[in-house]
Amino acid sequence: MKNIILASSSVHRKKLLKQLKIKFKSISPDINESRKKNEPIDAFVKRLSVEKATKIAKSQKNALVIGSDEIAVANNRILGKPNNYTNARKQLKYISNKVVIFKTGLCVIDTSSNKRLTTIVNYTIHMKKLSTSQIDNYIKREKMLNCAASIRIEGLAISLVKKMNGTDPSSIIGLPLIKLTEYLKKFDYDILG
């Protein structure tokens, strides 16, 4: 059986991968996550997931290395992690009554064959019109400073949403488990096998 390596230090991704009840190791890839000049958004998120997996795969034998990255986009503008309350407030005001698309890049590399599978999974959120008090109360009550667009959907952010649609709800938290299990199976790692 191949070793499963998650190329991430994200607590959210680790928690998601634990749902699959498989043994895995987590290693932080520590890459430069800056966007290149004029880089298209899809190319950007896919490149980051590939770079994360590739960096860790170089030092692993007989492993399946999982790289993933997520960005949120509203009106063609990338909304990263707010990192502070001022930015969170600005982001939430900006996305009020807008559509936010979460784009999650996924890359799985088999270090034995050097083959890799990559994709981007989109998930769309239609935000409610948010009042200043709703934004302030959300910010006070939710830990979301490390979440893209200040949206922690598995928490209180669900109350800010009109509707959501997409093929994989886990992708919005940062790791598309439906696609991941499909990719693992293609590399002869069936989690229920």
Is the pLDDT at 1 greater than 90, yes or no? no
State the pLDDT confidence band at 38, using cuts at 50, 70 and 90: very high
Nearest partner of 29 among 71, 67, 64, judged by Cα: 67
| Cβ neighbours of residue 167 closer than 8 Å, sequence gap 6 or more | 121, 123, 178
Smallest CA-to-CA distance from 124 within 87, 84, 83, 95 is with 95
Domain ranges of the chain: 3-186
What pLDDT sits at residue 193?
82
Q: Which residue has the tokens 């096998």?
A: 193
Predicted pLDDT of residue 188: 95
The predicted model scores a pTM of: 0.93
pLDDT tens per residue, range 79-101: 999 999 999 999 999 999 999 99
Tokens of 170: 């886990």
What pLDDT band is residue 59 in, cutting at 50, 70 and 90? very high
Q: Do strands 115-127 and 25-26 pair parallel, antiparallel, or not at all (unpaired)?
A: unpaired
**In the CATH hierarchy, which fold is given to the domain comprising 3-186?**
Maf protein (3.90.950)
pLDDT (tens digit, 9 = 90+) per residue, 99-142?
999 999 999 999 999 999 999 999 999 999 999 999 999 999 99
Q: How many residues does the chain have?
A: 193
What pLDDT was estimated at residue 37? 95
**Measured in whole angstroms, how far is the alpha carbon of residue 9 from the centre of its chain?**
12
- For residues 58-78, one letter each, b for 16 or more C-beta atoms within 10 angstroms of the residue's C-beta and e for the rest, the string is eebeebbbbbbbbbbbbeeee
pLDDT tens string 135-191: 999 999 999 999 999 999 999 999 999 999 999 999 999 999 999 999 999 999 999
Read off the amino acid at residue 23. K
Query: Which are the catalytic amino acids?
Result: 69
